Amino acid sequence: MAGNTSAIRGSRVGSGPTGEIDNGYKAERIQKTYYCFNKHSFSPSFAASVEPEEIPTELDCPHCGLPAGLDKDNPPVVAKHEPYKTHLAYVKERRTEEEAKALLEEAVAAVRERRERLLADARAEVKKTTKNSKK
């Protein structure tokens, strides 16, 4: 964990002749292309000594500041109005949640009521048709 500074060891690269491979260190750079939601793309390069898993999967777009990811077709999406939430935002959110719940309960109650009515109607209908068929 600590002391993982091996990447710094390559800092002398560029002072020697190009193409020289020292201690297995290659003066290569890995270029990755990132795409943001606004269809910007940018291609920063990383030292080849960086482990693949150390390469960030998301970077801030230098053009618009939105997070950009490596998947061109699926750039990271940010919910626009929540860099961080205020207490009021939480309260509002909670209230809408409660409102939604109330609406849902109302809807469920309405459905239940209608279903019961339909069931009653159906029963009545069945009774009627049975009566009729007996005629």
| Binding footprint of Zn ion on the chain (CB under 5 A) | 36, 38, 40, 61, 63-64
Whose Cβ is closer to Zn ion: residue 25's or residue 37's?
A: 37
Per DSSP, the chain holds a count of helices (H) and strands (E) of 1, 6
Closer residue to Zn ion in complex, CB, 13/36: 36
Q: Least distance to Zn ion from the beta carbon of 40, Å?
A: 3
Q: Which helix (H) or strand (E) holds 36?
A: strand 34-36
When the beta carbons of 13 and 61 are compared against Zn ion, the nearer one is 61
| Burial environment of residue 37 by CB neighbours within 10 A (0 to 12, 13 to 18, 19 or more) | middle
Helices (H), the chain: 87-134
| Interatomic CA distance for residues 49 and 22, integer angstroms | 12
Nearest approach, Cβ of residue 62 and Zn ion (Å): 8
Nearest approach, Cβ of residue 34 and Zn ion (Å): 9
Tell the smallest beta-carbon distance from residue 95 to Zn ion (Å).
34
> CA 17 to CA 56: how far, in whole Å?
30
Half-sphere exposure of 111 (CA within 13 A, CB side): 6
Beta carbon nearer to Zn ion, 13 or 68? 68
Nearer to Zn ion, 10 or 44 (CB): 44
